[in-house]
Chains A and B, each alone.
Chain A
Amino acid sequence: MISFRLNGQAQQVDVPGDTPVLWVLRDTLGMTGTKFGCGVAVCGACTVHVDGEQRRACVTPIESVAGQQITTIEAIGGDRIGQAVQEAWVKHDVVQCGYCQSGQIMAAVALLRHRPQPSDADIDAAMSANLCRCGTYVRIHAAVKDAARSLA
């Protein structure tokens, strides 16, 4: 049994320790907001936070987060930065198909936590690790800047 906290609640799962957090979330716990895109941590669709830091759930074994707090897209709105990011996303009509956006938002929140007033270059550097096939990057960029402004 592996115990951890998920969005503030205690959680216990009985799965092999090498099971990636992504599949514990999606298949074991039915939380499908975190997405499977590539399976090799190159697209960022699976981004969650572990003890507040950005992690790619598709390659993070559940045993490695025992005792830690996992935060997912479903709960990030309860965080001050998360809420600002989500509101900016809606205001700027960022999403198209939407499949990458859970990861984009989690990455944006991580960026703003560490760099509350990111420059264009900061946003480019941090957000270039999250793929979007619909090409919503232009609006993501604007939304991140707007969220930063609203938090200042």
Chain B
Amino acid sequence: MGDRFAADVSMPASCRLACSAALDAVVVAGLMAAATPASAADGAGFQPTPISATPNRQEGLAAFAQLERVLLHPRCLNCHVPNAPLQGDFSRVHYPPVQRGADGKGVAPLQCATCHSTRNSPLQHAPPGLETDGKPGWHMPPETMKMSWLGLKGAALCKVFREPATNGHRSLAMIEQHLVTDHLVAWGWQPGPGRALPPLDKAAFDTQVRAWIRNGAPCDATEPLRKSIGSTKAASTREVVEHLRAMAGAAAPADPLIPISATATVSRSQP
């Protein structure tokens, strides 16, 4: 995502004013498209948890230890893998044989939507489903940001999970947004009959996520605590647009899509 934005930035000066509006649309569209698809309800009104002025490493580590139990549970782990998804409470090889695909939605003719439809079935052992904008919404992370933590735990898992380089360019704010508001994550707690639930209920999980972030998102006993949660996707999109306009010389228009978060700051890794 970052690379794509960088390419969009260079523009001839003569074009700047006239092109800026079109550019806004292209960039916004590009960023939105590159973002994990979510229904309109996802993230609306989401307020990320800020880092506490007095973060407590031990509390943060304890919180991660709890939320890790969920991350390692089959309901999450089965899709956070390096290759084809796993399946079931015992994380077995997925049948039928399927592949992730570039966009994480499978490779035709066996896309995820072939068997995973818009809702869970009332029947045990039927494939789970959920709806995104009226369509089958089941998918894995895309090829370019696999977000796999299969085989990891503790500090190693935490770092893969936390660092934008390995977690799909997500700031802490975006991680929180994903975990707390994404409906595919929430599916883990409404997985349909016969599937084990994660070891924490959703509310408790959300609480641990916030506690971890609030306390500086520590992964081990010694590294510096995080000082910034970065932007949410929505806020960062707005910052991109503002930055472009500044370059183009136009005043930033009011953007109805993107609420300005008073505590949002630009994270270097954000486009």
Contact = CB atoms under 8 A, between A and B. Distances in A.
Chain A bound to chain B: yes
Interface of A: 18, 39-42, 44, 53-56, 58-61, 63-64, 107, 110-111, 113-115, 125-126, 128-129
* Dominant secondary structure of chain A at its interface with chain B: mixed
B32 interface: no
A113 B115 contact: no
B126 interface: yes
- Chain B, interface size category, equals 20 to 34
A129 B96 contact: yes
B113 interface: yes
Contact of B114 (A40, A55, A113, A115): A55
B56 interface: no
Interface in B95-135: 95-97, 108-111, 113-119, 121, 123-127, 129, 131, 134-135
B50 interface: no
- Determine the main DSSP class of B at the interface with A: loop
B131 A64 contact: yes
A55 B109 contact: no
B108 A59 contact: no
Contacts of B199: none
Given A110-B108, A128-B97, A59 B113 contact: no
Given A55-B114, A64-B117, A128-B97, A113 B127 contact: no
B114 A54 contact: yes
Contacts of B136: 64
Given A40-B125, A55-B117, 15 more contacts: A40-B121, A40-B123, A40-B126, A41-B115, A41-B127, A53-B109, A53-B111, A53-B113, A54-B111, A55-B114, A64-B117, A64-B118, A113-B109, A125-B110, A128-B96
Given A18-B119, A41-B115, A54-B109, A59 B97 contact: no
B97 A125 contact: yes
A126 B109 contact: yes
Going nearest first, the 4 A-B pairs with the smallest beta carbon separation are A129-B96, A110-B109, A64-B118, A40-B126
B109 A59 contact: no
Contacts of B126: 39-41, 58-59
A84 to B, nearest CB: 16
